[in-house]
């Protein structure tokens, strides 16, 4: 009796799209590697950022539909992919959101012109002020303020029960260079940046601050292009995944240290608090460890050592209560 060959699963629509997307991206990357910067700019401006965004959107939609209908798929989702899909579905039908287009070409050129490139284009200009309209430093200055204003309004309305300290900390994270450079990288803005020879040799394109500056310059240009509403919605969708993850600190229990000392002392133990980290800057931040009988059991963060120690004691008490149950 002949055995039947095992049934083969047909590739789902989302798998086909995924393969096609990777194939196109790989082929395009190979071709782009052989082009000079001016040719790359032509390709980027022709294709646009929405190309991959639309493919990714279609992939996520089909994948979600396939999951809901419980049909078998050829691809196993990792935890990171699952989180990305869930966040994307909660935020909008596609992430990152479409890049707003700057209508004024002169503004767009200024966004992607670094100061080092402007100095090369106008080598005989001895007055630096005359070059201010040729590179993106002033736009970056404006965009930095626009970004902070947008983020402040969004988180103020989103978290009505958060105090000033919590809002300031969240805002600092959302407008910091690390976060903003990630936003810029989503759209390849740094790849469009025109650098001078010295800038290229210094690999400024890989510098976190320079990449973040391009994003801020783009926001500044949108503001001057009378597209503040579009900029607001764009930033709102960009930061949504971070807002979903945000958790407010519990209310401060000023008696936490005393209560912890009472419980540990009753059992013949010893409680200590030690500052293990200190960050200086616009806002000081301290990290204090709670040590019981020589072992670190928790830590807390605050704008001063006392507050950080109190939070460490609160965490230790919480762990104590969980263990007792």
Tell me: the pLDDT tens digits for 131-174?
898 999 999 999 999 999 999 999 999 999 888 888 998 999 99
- Residue 86 CA to residue 40 CA, distance in Å, equals 34
What's the average model confidence in pLDDT over 115-130? 83
Pull the structure tokens for residue 96.
Answer: 């990152």
Active-site entry in 56, 144, 213, 240: 144
Asked about 216 being catalytic, the answer comes back as yes
Q: Indicate the pTM of the whole model.
A: 0.57
Exactly one of 14, 140, 216, 240 is catalytic; which is it? 216
Nearest of 277, 303, 284, 302 to residue 315 by alpha carbon: 302
pLDDT, residue 25, reads: 53
Which whole number is the average pLDDT over 163-187? 93
The mean pLDDT of 33-62, rounded to a whole number, is 47
Q: Do the Cβ atoms of 232 and 150 come closer than 8 Å?
A: yes
Question: What per-residue string of b and e applies to 105-116 under the rule 16 or more CB within 10 Å gives b?
Answer: eebbebbbbbbb
**Contacts (Cβ under 8 Å, ≥6 apart) of 190:** 181, 184, 205, 210, 211, 214
Give the residue carrying structure tokens 């969708």: 237
Clarify whether 127 is annotated catalytic. no
Give Dmax over CA atoms of the chain in angstroms: 91
With a cut of 70, say whether residue 264 has pLDDT above it. Answer: yes
Q: pLDDT > 90: what percent of the chain?
A: 52
- CA neighbor of 89 nearest in space, from 66, 64, 70: 64
């Amino acid at each position: 009796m002949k055995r039947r060959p095992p049934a083969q699963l047909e590739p789902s629509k989302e798998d086909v799209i995924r393969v096609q997307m990777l194939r196109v991206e790989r082929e395009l990357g190979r071709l782009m590697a052989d082009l000079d910067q001016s040719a790359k700019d032509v390709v980027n401006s022709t294709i646009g950022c929405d190309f991959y965004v639309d493919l990714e959107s279609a992939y996520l939609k089909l994948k979600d539909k396939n999951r809901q209908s419980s049909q078998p798929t050829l691809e196993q989702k990792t935890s990171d992919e699952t989180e990305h899909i869930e966040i994307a579905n909660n935020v909008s039908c596609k992430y990152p959101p479409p890049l707003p287009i700057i209508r004024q070409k002169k503004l767009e050129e200024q966004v992607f012109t670094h100061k080092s490139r402007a100095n090369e284009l106008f080598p005989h200009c001895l007055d630096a002020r005359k070059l201010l309209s040729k590179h993106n430093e002033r736009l970056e200055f404006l965009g930095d303020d626009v970004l902070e204003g947008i983020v402040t309004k969004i988180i103020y309305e989103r978290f009505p029960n958060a105090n000033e300290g919590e809002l300031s900390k969240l805002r600092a994270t959302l407008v910091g260079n690390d976060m903003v450079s990630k936003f810029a990288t989503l759209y390849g803005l740094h790849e469009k940046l025109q650098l001078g020879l010295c800038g290229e040799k210094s690999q400024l394109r890989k510098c976190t601050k320079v990449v973040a500056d391009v994003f801020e310059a783009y926001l500044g240009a949108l503001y001057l292009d009378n597209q503040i509403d579009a900029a607001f919605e764009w930033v709102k969708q960009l930061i949504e995944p971070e807002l979903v993850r945000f958790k407010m600190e519990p209310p401060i229990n000023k008696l936490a240290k005393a209560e912890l000392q009472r419980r540990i002392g009753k059992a013949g133990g010893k409680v200590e608090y030690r500052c293990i980290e200190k960050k200086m800057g616009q806002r000081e931040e301290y990290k204090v460890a709670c040590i019981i009988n020589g072992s670190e059991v928790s830590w807390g963060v605050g704008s001063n050592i006392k507050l950080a120690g109190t939070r460490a004691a609160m965490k230790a008490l919480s762990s104590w209560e969980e263990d007792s149950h």
